[in-house]
């Protein structure tokens, strides 16, 4: 595995790649396993929830998402995992259904570290994609962080940056000196 350089929105050369609509991945593709391993390693090293291939300079429709486990604290102080970590490898993903309702929440991006803005997203989405084994999969009515991450990463594959989704740019702020309000995607 290898750490890859994450392209930045605020670098004009990087932004050209980040705003490019990506090509579909051809399957089967044996080299994808190594690329996916590198993407997960790079994403985790940057404390991210998602990473799309264009963020590391590859204009292919490929993204990885890692939703952390849900842990609850019991009255006696012990912590128990109530939902396991969820990892997704999304090859040629597409949103096939989305809620008409929106949620606005602070959202960040590994391509603009430390910066967060209020981004409206559908409250749920259904996504079809191909997995690493070449099988077509469907995530039905994803909600919460997974729904937001799916929309964010698929936007990357379409050349759309989260900053373009912000309706009120005054909400875009640098939180790098403070504790980050949410995970970056």
Which residues are identified as catalytic? 153
Contact 148, 107 (CB under 8 A): yes
Q: Are 96 and 45 in contact (CB under 8 A)?
A: no
Residue partners of 127: CB distance under 8 A and separation at least 6: 90, 93, 94, 95, 96, 138, 139, 142, 150, 154
Q: Are 130 and 27 in contact (CB under 8 A)?
A: yes
Q: How many CB atoms within 10 Å of residue 12? A: 8
Q: Where are the alpha helices (DSSP H) in the chain?
A: 12-18, 32-45, 144-157, 162-165
CA separation for the pair 110, 103 (Å, rounded): 21
User: What are the φ and ψ backbone dihedral angles of 125, each rounded to 5 degrees?
Assistant: -140, 150
What's the residue count for the chain?
185
Nearest Cα to Cα of residue 54 among 4, 26, 17 = 17
């Amino acid at each position: 595995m290898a750490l890859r350089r994450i392209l930045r929105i605020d670098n004009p050369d990087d932004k050209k790649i980040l705003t490019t609509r990506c090509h579909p991945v051809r399957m089967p593709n044996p080299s994808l396993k190594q690329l996916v391993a590198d993407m997960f390693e790079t994403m985790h090293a940057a404390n991210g929830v998602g990473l799309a291939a264009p963020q590391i300079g590859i204009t292919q429709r490929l993204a990885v998402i890692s939703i952390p486990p849900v842990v609850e604290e019991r009255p006696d102080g012990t912590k128990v995992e109530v939902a396991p970590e969820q990892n997704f490898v999304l090859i040629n993903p597409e949103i096939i259904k989305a809620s008409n309702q929106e949620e606005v929440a602070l959202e960040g991006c590994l391509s603009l570290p430390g910066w967060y803005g209020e981004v409206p997203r559908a409250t749920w989405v259904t996504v079809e994609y191909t997995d690493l084994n070449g099988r077509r999969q469907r995530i039905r009515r994803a909600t919460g962080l997974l729904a937001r991450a799916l929309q964010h990463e698929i936007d990357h594959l379409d050349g759309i940056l989260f900053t373009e989704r912000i309706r009120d740019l005054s909400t875009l702020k640098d939180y790098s000196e403070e504790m980050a309000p949410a995970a970056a995607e």
